[in-house]
């Protein structure tokens, strides 16, 4: 199947590479030339615009930073909607506001183009090894058509409901991840300040009820002081803002989400917004005057 892929950043590039490895014919586009050139060397064809990509493909995937970028690519000048033929399936795998997904789907439907919102969780490591969790919103029959493609990039793909449901699910995921990181940060700073090796604390608790995928992925990073981004804090700020906006719009209080958002905003003011989101621990380290490190 001929697939279009727009957005070749930290997540999009390895996802696109996995589709090539799976034998799909790929047409790619990004405003940055280097990743396009890298994908072309790996066997993809370069598109000249979102419109151009849309005109060549049966399925088109977007993986972009936020709602405005996706709307510009899909509905803007030389956008997907201008090149789309009836029957095209647009799969937006970005993490954006649910309402934006619904708005774009309605416009695409006027051209007999189907859309799914299908954000992912797992960060760069799982994008590289094709074990992402994919959360999907849209029509069941459209989901079934593209599910085999999604499973070339992820270990799971679950239809959560109608259009927008994938992004609602992703917002829930991002709340849980952020709160896990904050809780881990509090706990490890406490341990270190009390004179207990945080690496030993991690080893002791990871198999119990406090254990989680977040703890397993992030505790080793913070113990090494490694804040190289697999998922940048500024992107998590974007997701939490979407979560807060959505929650407020439907009357759901999310006080803990608000607290973690302000912690991340404080770190952004300190210039740490491009750190991995596990860099939240730096906020607690600064408050306690205690750096968390371990040989693990």
Catalytic entry in 17, 71, 126, 170: 170
Compute, in degrees rounded to 10, the torsion defined by CA atoms 143, 169, 95, 151.
Answer: -40
Task: Give the residue among 119, 102, 98 at the shortest CA–CA distance from 177.
Answer: 119
Does residue 65 sit in helix, strand or coil? coil
Residue with tokens 């449901």: 165
Half-sphere exposure of 23 (CA within 13 A, CB side): 1
Q: How many residues does the chain have?
A: 296
- Please tell me the distance from the alpha carbon of residue 204 to that of residue 89, in angstroms, as a whole number: 47
Q: Which residues contact 177 (CB under 8 A, 6 or more apart)?
A: 121, 214, 236, 277
Question: What angle, rounded to 10 degrees, do the helices at 233-250 and 255-269 form?
Answer: 150
Catalytic residue status for 41: no
- Please tell me the distance from the alpha carbon of residue 130 to that of residue 147, in angstroms, as a whole number: 14
Two tokens, residue 277: 């989101």
Q: Which residues are catalytic?
A: 170
């Amino acid at each position: 199947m001929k697939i279009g892929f727009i957005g070749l950043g930290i997540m999009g590039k390895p996802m696109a590479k996995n589709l090539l490895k799976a034998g799909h014919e790929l047409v790619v586009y990004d405003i940055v030339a280097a990743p396009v050139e890298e994908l072309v060397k790996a066997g993809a064809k370069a598109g000249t615009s979102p419109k151009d990509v849309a005109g060549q493909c049966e399925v088109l995937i977007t993986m972009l930073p936020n709602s405005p970028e996706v709307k510009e690519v899909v509905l803007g000048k030389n956008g997907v909607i201008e090149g789309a033929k009836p029957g095209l399936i647009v799969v937006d795998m970005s993490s954006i506001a649910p309402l934006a997904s619904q708005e774009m789907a309605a416009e695409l439907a006027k051209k007999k183009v189907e859309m799914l919102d299908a954000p992912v969780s797992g960060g760069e490591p799982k994008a590289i090894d094709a074990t992402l969790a994919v959360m999907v919103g849209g029509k069941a029959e459209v989901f079934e058509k593209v599910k085999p493609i999604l499973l070339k990039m992820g270990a799971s793909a679950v239809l959560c409901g109608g259009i927008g449901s994938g992004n609602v699910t992703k917002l829930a995921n991002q709340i849980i991840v952020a709160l896990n990181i904050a809780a881990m940060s509090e706990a490890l700073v406490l341990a270190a300040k009390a004179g207990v090796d945080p690496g030993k604390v991690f080893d002791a608790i990871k198999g119990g009820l406090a254990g989680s995928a977040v703890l397993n992925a992030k505790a080793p990073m913070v113990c090494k002081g490694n804040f190289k981004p697999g998922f940048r804090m500024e992107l998590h700020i974007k997701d939490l803002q979407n979560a807060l906006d959505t929650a407020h719009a439907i009357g759901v209080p999310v006080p803990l989400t608000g607290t973690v958002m302000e912690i991340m905003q404080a770190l952004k003011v300190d210039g740490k917004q491009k750190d991995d989101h596990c860099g939240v621990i730096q906020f607690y380290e600064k408050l306690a005057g205690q750096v968390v490190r371990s040989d693990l």
